[in-house]
């Protein structure tokens, strides 16, 4: 069974950090809007939405660095005769 792994470049790592900031920022923004419009300026929607954004970014990074975590994928070992 041979597997070739491509080394992670610094550009990919910077891209993953930027994705984390972007999705967390979108969650933060959505939390502010929900807090102001729906929940009379409570702080918990901001924390909750920021956490959702950070969780989405973490899961996305995990799937890109570990492709076996993609739902429906499996590794089939090669047989040697």
User: What is the number of other CB atoms lying within 10 angstroms of the CB of residue 45?
Assistant: 19
Q: pLDDT tens digits, the chain, 81 residues: what are they?
A: 455 555 567 777 777 778 888 888 888 888 888 888 888 888 888 888 888 888 888 888 777 777 677 777 777 777 776
Contact present, 24 and 53 (Cβ < 8 Å) = yes
pLDDT at 17: 76
pTM (global) more than 0.85: no
Which residues are CB-contacts of 77 (< 8 A; sequence separation ≥ 6)? 1
């Amino acid at each position: 069974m041979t597997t070739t792994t491509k080394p992670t470049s610094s550009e990919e790592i910077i891209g993953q950090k930027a994705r984390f900031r972007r999705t967390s920022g979108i969650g933060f923004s959505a939390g502010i809007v929900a807090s102001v419009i729906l929940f009379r300026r409570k702080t918990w929607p901001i924390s909750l939405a920021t956490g959702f954004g950070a969780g989405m970014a973490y899961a996305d990074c995990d799937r890109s660095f570990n492709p076996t975590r993609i739902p429906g994928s499996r590794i089939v070992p090669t047989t040697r005769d």
